[in-house]
Structure 1
Amino acid sequence: MGEHLTARVRSSMFSAILYIYATLVRSALADWLSTIVQNVALTVTAFVIAFTLSWSIASVIIASFPLLIGASITEQLFLKGFGGNYSHSYSRATAVAREAIVNIRTVAEFSVENQISIRFASELNRPNKQAFLRGHNSGFGYGVSQLFAFCSYAPGLRYASVLIKQNKSNFGDIMKSSMVLIITALAVAETLALTPDIVKGSQAFGSVFGIFHRRTSIEPNDSTLKVVSEIKGDIEFRNISFKYSMRPDVTIFEDLNLKCQPGRV
């Protein structure tokens, strides 16, 4: 019985792992790869259009690409939750509430509702402080990213006014060239923001093929292996002590000794 249960659990775990890896591989091939191809084509086309319309203003805007791309990546990271993941912070408070709900009869029997409430509130103090700090940090980071984004427009627009004043270019060509390159910079930032996901997909590729090519250390078809037709064993517990985590002052087992012989219940 235990052998079949172990095999079933291992099979379920293996299926779950393959499902996670398959999801990462599918995302890498379908979503991320299509986005990369689209943005690469957009970049090449935009450069051709921008340099054809006004090569001088295009050169100035391309020089400010690092600032604009960095600001866009920072903005996307903060919007995706780069400021912090709160699930781990609330895990202890969630565990307290879950244990209290599961053992609600025990909690009511020993009249420890107030203690549970106090402990739950105390576990929320630290996440509350972290959320306060992360909120301010996220707001500051988002504001700085917006500052860099708008500052990156300044050199191009300033130089555009000089070109128009000197009649070296017209307003329409300058605006077309500028907008094409700005949109391209945002597309490049979107592609670079996908780098962590692409790395995960690449690691999933290696893990999946590693599982397929792995050779087992126990060969099932080896004729020299000894086949065991019957297994017997004794189960023995010695000096077992147990207490619930919610009630550390209440002892459930103290120095318990138990022996189970084969073939007996």
Structure 2
Amino acid sequence: MFILLGVISLVVSPGRTYFFSIAGCKLIKRVRSMCFEKVVNMEISWFDEPEHSSGAIGARLSADAATVRGLVGDALSLIVQNAATAIAGLVIAFSANWILAFVILVLLPLVGLNGYIQLKFMKGFSADAKMMYEEASQVANDAVGSIRTVASFCAEEKVIQLYKQKCEGPIKTGIRQGLISGIGFGFSFFFLFTVYATSFYAGARLVDAGKTTFTEVFKVFFALTMMAIGISQSSSFAPDSAKAKGATASIFEILDRNSKIDPSDESGTTLESVKGEIELRHVSFKYPTRPDIQIFRDLCLAIHSGKTVALVGESGCGKSTVISLLQRFYDPDSGHITLDGIEIQKLKLRWLRQQMGLVSQEPVLFNETIKANIAYGKEGNATESEIIEAAELANAHKFISSLQQGYETVVGERGVQLSGGQKQRVAIARAIVKAPKILLLDEATSALDAESERVVQDALDRVMVNRTTVVVAHRLSTIQNADVIAVVKNGVIAEKGKHETLLNIQDGIYASLVALHMTAAS
């Protein structure tokens, strides 16, 4: 019988591990892909919260799914095995002698109770450790992502010390976790040997009374001992199950949350042709993370089709916020924003963003080829001719062609292999390839030197033709030819008009900004 059991185990055990491993790997893939899909469709204000920083999200996508998989894989397979052992043990024990089996069975919940208490203690510790590791992950993510800044300020020791500090908390938690787990193991074995002692004592009394035989006592003893060992082993998974419970809660927190501004939402209308008439009517807005600071109070602005509107004003007055509101990164607290007379909230979000091309102050390039970075701009696949045409319009084709690998050149993380002007021109090409009706330029040349600025500005001037354009600028020299210049101050449009008109306003805000700019330039 034991040889037969050995042969069955030789076949069943590898199969059990194999199939549960496949289930675990499929689960980890599904959890990560579902969570990532949910994360990228969250509204922008969700990412403004500290607990949803890039490091924390990365740690959650990586660690949480792996923790759940750990429990579903090896741990779950062993739990299934132990459950089968427990059922077989009970059947054998009760068929041999139900009185002795019942006596021993009364004591077995002690082992289960010990595992349950362990699980409750571990739950709090694993949640604390998880949060601490996410903080440490954020420090590492920031340091590696900005390694040039860290190196230039010789701040390596600072970030190392900060990382070590963030890792100290989990060490203390781990020590406490180890102590509780160790005490739990001790009690598991204490209860196990208590069951042994009671089995022999009760068996001896029953044999003495003539109610059972020596053979039956050992049948019951071995059957229930194997069952007790299985239960005792299962209690050792208390730390893993506590972590998995916390990880599962973290996963479902993401999966169950509905994005307030969801780009994957297919509802909403689309327009057959877009003129590019934009109007902001009585818009009030505060950032969700800074509810005490009023950005706009009663902002009104009309942007006509095919015209260029420039937004100027002091730093922090809300110029870039206008662009965020137009792209529906945020919704205004009150007031209306319309495109061709229709409120943008009623339009299909993905379609709305496809009508707009954004070129920001700090262009973000992905660690791929220049060709792939430009193609990102178009939904679906951009053809090679479209990519080259966009690059030519952006004054980028010449410098790309001069590179050894041309359009197949990998730009490096955040585009580090390219200069500021080159990155900006690739970003402009990416915006052009989607053929946007509306162009949004958020201080597109402010971070460039004079030569790069001239080349990039030339590219922008070509792109802006026959497009509704909103320009945010610090350098007033770049917006003098705009159709309308709007001055933002104290949450409203304080002045608007052409460059010459605004200069002639006595004690005007724009005139004082130009004077200040001229003084700084000289």
TM-score (norm 2): 0.31
Residues 1:109 and 2:133 aligned together: no
Q: CA deviation at 1:42?
A: 6.0
Structure 1 partner of 2:93: 50
Residues 1:133 and 2:157 aligned together: no
> What pairs with 1:38-117 in structure 2 (closer than 5 Å)?
46-71=89-114, 84=126, 86-117=129-160
Closer, same or farther in 2 for the Cα pair 1:123/1:155, shift >3 Å? same
Query: Given that residues 61 and 156 in structure 1 are in contact (C-alpha distance below 8 angstroms), is that contact kept between their aligned partners in structure 2?
Result: yes
Closer, same or farther in 2 for the Cα pair 1:45/1:98, shift >3 Å? closer
Q: CA deviation at 1:45?
A: 5.1
> What pairs with 1:201-212 in structure 2 (closer than 5 Å)?
none
Query: Given that residues 85 and 226 in structure 2 are in contact (C-alpha distance below 8 angstroms), is that contact kept between their aligned partners in structure 1?
Result: no
Structure 2 partner of 1:181: 224
Query: Given that residues 83 and 138 in structure 1 are in contact (C-alpha distance below 8 angstroms), is that contact kept between their aligned partners in structure 2?
Result: no
Structure 2 partner of 1:160: 203
> What pairs with 1:18-33 in structure 2 (closer than 5 Å)?
none
Structure 2 partner of 1:13: 37
Which of 274, 290, 293 in structure 2 is aligned with 1:230? 274
Closer, same or farther in 2 for the Cα pair 1:111/1:259, shift >3 Å? closer
Please tell me whether Structure 1 or Structure 2 has the larger radius of gyration of its CA atoms. 2
Q: Deviations over 1:41-82 (max 9, x none)?
A: 76665444323322221120122231133345667x59x999
Between the aligned partners of 1:176 and 1:47, the Cα distance in structure 2 is 11
Equivalent position amino acid for 2:201 in 1: R
Say which SS state the counterpart of residue 111 (structure 1) adopts. Answer: coil
**Number of residues paired by the alignment?**
214
Closer, same or farther in 2 for the Cα pair 1:118/1:47, shift >3 Å? closer
Query: Given that residues 192 and 229 in structure 2 are in contact (C-alpha distance below 8 angstroms), is that contact kept between their aligned partners in structure 1?
Result: no
Q: CA deviation at 1:107?
A: 1.5
Equivalent position amino acid for 1:230 in 2: V
Query: Given that residues 83 and 135 in structure 1 are in contact (C-alpha distance below 8 angstroms), is that contact kept between their aligned partners in structure 2?
Result: no
Q: Deviations over 1:147-172 (max 9, x none)?
A: 23332333222111222344432222
Percent identity among equivalent residues? 22
Query: Given that residues 192 and 228 in structure 2 are in contact (C-alpha distance below 8 angstroms), is that contact kept between their aligned partners in structure 1?
Result: no
Q: CA deviation at 1:176?
A: 0.9
Say which SS state the counterpart of residue 114 (structure 1) adopts. Answer: helix
Say which SS state the counterpart of residue 131 (structure 2) adopts. Answer: coil
Q: Deviations over 1:11-65 (max 9, x none)?
A: x716x99xx99xx9xx99xx979x76x8777666544432332222112012223
Closer, same or farther in 2 for the Cα pair 1:128/1:45, shift >3 Å? closer
Query: Given that residues 108 and 228 in structure 2 are in contact (C-alpha distance below 8 angstroms), is that contact kept between their aligned partners in structure 1?
Result: yes
Q: CA deviation at 1:219?
A: 6.1
TM-score (norm 1): 0.55
Closer, same or farther in 2 for the Cα pair 1:259/1:217, shift >3 Å? closer
Q: CA deviation at 1:101?
A: 2.3
Closer, same or farther in 2 for the Cα pair 1:237/1:73, shift >3 Å? farther
Structure 1 partner of 2:374: none
Between the aligned partners of 1:40 and 1:125, the Cα distance in structure 2 is 39
Q: CA deviation at 1:126?
A: 2.3
Q: Deviations over 1:171-197 (max 9, x none)?
A: 221111122234345667859x89999
Unaligned runs of 5+ in 1: 1-9, 209-215, 242-256
Q: CA deviation at 1:102?
A: 2.2
Between the aligned partners of 1:142 and 1:98, the Cα distance in structure 2 is 37
Query: Given that residues 67 and 149 in structure 1 are in contact (C-alpha distance below 8 angstroms), is that contact kept between their aligned partners in structure 2?
Result: no
Equivalent position amino acid for 1:99 in 2: D
Closer, same or farther in 2 for the Cα pair 1:52/1:237, shift >3 Å? farther
RMSD of the TM alignment (CA)?
Answer: 5.3
Between the aligned partners of 1:226 and 1:102, the Cα distance in structure 2 is 39
Between the aligned partners of 1:166 and 1:186, the Cα distance in structure 2 is 29
Q: Whose RCO is larger (CA < 8 A, sep 6+)?
A: 1
Q: CA deviation at 1:113?
A: 2.6
Between the aligned partners of 1:175 and 1:236, the Cα distance in structure 2 is 89
Closer, same or farther in 2 for the Cα pair 1:153/1:112, shift >3 Å? same
Closer, same or farther in 2 for the Cα pair 1:182/1:128, shift >3 Å? same
Unaligned runs of 5+ in 2: 1-33, 42-63, 257-263, 279-308, 318-441, 446-459, 465-470, 472-522
Closer, same or farther in 2 for the Cα pair 1:174/1:81, shift >3 Å? farther
Structure 1 partner of 2:383: none
Q: Deviations over 1:233-262 (max 9, x none)?
A: 579686349xxxxxxxxxxxxxxx859999
Q: CA deviation at 1:228?
A: 4.3
Between the aligned partners of 1:195 and 1:122, the Cα distance in structure 2 is 27
Equivalent position amino acid for 2:126 in 1: G
Closer, same or farther in 2 for the Cα pair 1:88/1:231, shift >3 Å? farther
Closer, same or farther in 2 for the Cα pair 1:107/1:158, shift >3 Å? same
Between the aligned partners of 2:199 and 2:145, the Cα distance in structure 1 is 63
